Amino acid sequence: MRIVWRFLPDLQAILAGAAAGFYLQRWFLPRYRTLLYPILAFIAIGALLNVRLLLGAVPAQWEIGVRGLAFALAAAFVAAFPVGWLVRRRLTQIPETDLVRRKMLHAAVAAPIATMGFGLIAARFTPLLIERELRIPGLPQDLHGLKLAQISDIHLSPFLSRRELARAVDMVNETRPDLTFVTGDLITGSRDPLDDCITELARLKAASGVWGCHGNHEMYIKAEPYASEMAARHGIQFLRDERASLRFGQAKLHLTGVDFQSKYKPMLRNVGELVVPNEFNLLLSHTPEVFRTAQKQGWDLVLSGHTHGGQLNLELFGEQLNIIRFFTPYTYGLFEENRSRLWVTRGLGTVGIPARIGAPPEVVLLKLLRA
């Protein structure tokens, strides 16, 4: 049976969680060893599903659910492990009779696990509507006040239902945008309901159309051609290294979309010539990593997603702390470079760990203004 190598980092994380859970049980719940065995068995099953060694052995929705919950449980144990190690050292210095302080330290160990539970159960369900004004240098007068809606990183699955996507679609439609953009990752894997996702997105409405680009998860399962064709039947145009020119009064908005751009290959190599000098050029790219190249090519605005805003994020002294920061500086929000602007949305869904902490799901309404 073939192991899909790109899942090995996830497998390592799950196994690290199992090891952390083993030591936490030995340190703080030594009398409840029988409780540990089913938890470790659950994580082990999640690990096997994660590398596709049990692919097809269980229904798709069960497979995705078990894999995600095992990942969440493992992550909670990993987060609690350093706290537990420090607490264990501290407990040796506190008398057995000081029950209050000892219980407080035990509670500190449980805090990361409780936080993960909150992110899993509550924080990922209700999307926010984020409204921002973008001031664009040289924006044509007839594009001043144009409203752009963005929905991204849907990952329709057992952890984001069609009903929850429908709620997000309704939120977008209520803003009455001029243009609506879908910036990739409709699903996570080949066993997710891609057709259902496209059918729900077909309800999106915008005065000048609904447009999109594909993400890495469409690329992983080679679904870009099929998704583009199905979306086109429903009135959604996915742009694949191609440009559409839209007129608003006396101004033109030149809209280009690209498939997922790998950082291991030259980025935007096929679309630089699509930039129209002295007019407004907007690029849809799932990954924000294209921004360095995009601003050199002359794109006025880039709309991206991909990062989920870190998904598990801690804000400290105004800085966003999350694992995504190790891979890209473009985690969330607005970035400016010379005359170019980049907006990165947190999106709707989750991948890997089915939880959001400090990075709530969102749909976005951007209003273009002359700088």
Question: What pLDDT does residue 211 have?
Answer: 98
CB-CB contact of 244 with 255 (8 Å)? yes
Question: Would you say 267 and 293 are in contact if contact means Cβ atoms under 8 Å apart?
Answer: yes
Cα–Cα–Cα angle for 4, 229, 361, nearest 5°?
A: 65
**24-51 burial string, b = 16+ CB within 10 Å, else e?**
bbeebeeeeeeebeebbebbebbbbbbb
What is the model's pLDDT at position 119?
58
- From residue 105, alpha-carbon distances to 75, 222, 311 in Å are 20, 49, 27
**Sequence-separated (6 or more) residues with CB below 8 Å from residue 10:** 50, 71, 352
- Match 């033109």 to its residue by tokens: 252
Looking at residue 48, what is its pLDDT? 60
Reading the block at residue 349, the tokens are: 């869904």
- pLDDT for the residue 164: 92
Angle subtended at Cα 276 by Cα 274 and Cα 278, rounded to the nearest 5 degrees: 160
What is the per-residue pLDDT for 190?
83
**In this predicted structure, what is the pLDDT of residue 326?**
80
Q: How many CB atoms lie within 10 A of CB 121?
A: 10
pLDDT value for 1: 38
Superfamily of domain 128-370: Metallo-dependent phosphatases (3.60.21.10)
Chunked mean pLDDT (size 10), the chain, 371 residues: 50 74 77 68 64 52 65 75 78 72 71 65 75 95 97 90 94 97 93 94 97 96 96 97 96 97 91 94 97 96 96 72 83 94 96 83 96 85
| Predicted local distance difference test score (pLDDT) of residue 38 | 74
Convert 94-109 to b/e letters by CB count within 10 Å (16 or more is b).
Answer: eeeeeeeebeebeeeb
Supply the pLDDT for residue 122: 56
Could you tell me the residue ranges of all domains in the chain? 5-121, 128-370
**C-alpha triplet 152, 237, 128: angle, nearest 5°:** 25
262 alpha-carbon distance from chain centroid: 17
**Structure-token match 């891979």, residue found:** 327
